């Protein structure tokens, strides 16, 4: 297939590279003029759209997605597949679907989970919102870039699933960090506490797979000075999206709201540019009278 890929950042670049390695002809555009091995670099978004069988976007936010879609949708080849892998607000996602549908294009939202490591390894999880027809056509591409593809429902359902998942992740990481910080102050060895929590009722992904304590459990950003696998500011972005969505449907999410407030203060004070699991450092350094919430 001829594939245009717009947005070659930390996630988009390796995703585009994996498509090229699989034998697709990939044309990449990014405002930063990023060069990706196997991908033909183009100078304008239009050059990654005109005559393409599929156009993939991986963009920072809904405002940029809307702006890009206003530019490229009128240039899409009739029947072409427009796949957006950005994590954006629900209104922007549904607007993108509507624009594409009105132009006779197949539209898919498929935000990802798995971080930079998953993008490089081609092991991402895709949460997909689309028609059955669009899903059938997009799945072979998603299978190249990821190891798990879940069709969550019609347009926008992928974004909804991503927002719910990452709200839970933000909450569970704070709880994990609180538990390890408390355990340290109680004199517990972190490795012994990990053995208990990872095999009993406290077991969760934030403990078992992405432990925030250096040298404990499988390798994680904590073992690399908290260099981001998933940056704290990106977690904050997703938590804010969850609260925006909750307001739209009048859903009660008190833990999600509190997690948002905690990450806001963390990013503002010391977390910018660090992995979201570095929340452990802030909690370990604070006292009961210096609550982050």
Q: Exposed (0-12), middle (13-18) or buried (19+): which is 98, by Cβ within 10 Å?
A: middle
Question: Taking the C-alpha atoms of 117, 123, 127 and 128 in order, what is their torsion angle to the nearest 10 degrees?
Answer: 120
Give the angle subtended at the CA of 131 by the CAs of 121 and 94, to the nearest 5°. 85
Give, in order, the Cα–Cα distances in Å from 165 to each of 189, 213, 256. Answer: 30, 22, 11
162 has catalytic annotation = yes
- If you search the block for the tokens 């429902």, which residue do you land on? 153
How many CA atoms lie within 13 Å of 269's alpha carbon, on the beta-carbon side?
15
Among 50, 101, 45, smallest CA distance to 76 is for: 50
Indicate which residue of 66, 162, 237, 274 is catalytic. 162
Radius of gyration, alpha carbons of the chain = 20
Distance from C-alpha of 16 to C-alpha of 5, rounded to nearest angstrom: 7
Known catalytic residues are 162
């Amino acid at each position: 297939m001829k594939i245009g890929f717009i947005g070659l950042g930390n996630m988009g670049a390796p995703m585009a590279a994996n498509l090229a390695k699989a034998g697709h002809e990939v044309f990449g555009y990014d405002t930063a003029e990023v060069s990706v091995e196997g991908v033909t670099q183009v100078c304008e978004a239009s050059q990654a759209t005109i005559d393409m069988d599929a156009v993939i976007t991986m963009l920072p936010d809904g405002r940029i997605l809307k702006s890009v879609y206003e530019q490229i949708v009128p240039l899409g080849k009739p029947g072409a597949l427009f796949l957006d892998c950005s994590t954006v607000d629900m209104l922007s996602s549904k607007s993108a679907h509507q624009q594409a549908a009105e132009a006779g294009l197949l539209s898919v939202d498929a935000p990802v989970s798995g971080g930079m490591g998953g993008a490089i390894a081609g092991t991402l999880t895709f949460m997909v919102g689309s028609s059955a027809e669009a899903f059938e056509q997009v799945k072979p591409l998603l299978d190249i870039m990821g190891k798990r593809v879940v069709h969550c429902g019609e347009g926008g359902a992928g974004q909804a699933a991503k927002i719910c998942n990452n709200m839970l992740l933000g909450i569970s990481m704070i709880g994990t960090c609180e538990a390890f910080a408390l355990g340290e102050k109680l004199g517990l060895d972190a490795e012994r506490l990990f053995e208990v929590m990872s095999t009993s009722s406290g077991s969760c992904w934030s403990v078992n797979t992405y432990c925030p304590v250096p040298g404990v459990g499988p390798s994680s950003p904590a073992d690399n000075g908290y260099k981001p696998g998933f940056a704290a500011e990106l977690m904050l972005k997703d938590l804010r999206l969850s609260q925006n969505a909750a307001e739209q449907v009048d859903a009660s999410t008190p833990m999600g709201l509190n997690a948002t407030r905690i990450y806001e203060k963390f990013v503002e004070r010391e977390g910018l540019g660090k992995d979201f699991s570095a929340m452990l450092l802030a909690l370990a350094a604070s006292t009961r009278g210096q609550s982050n919430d």
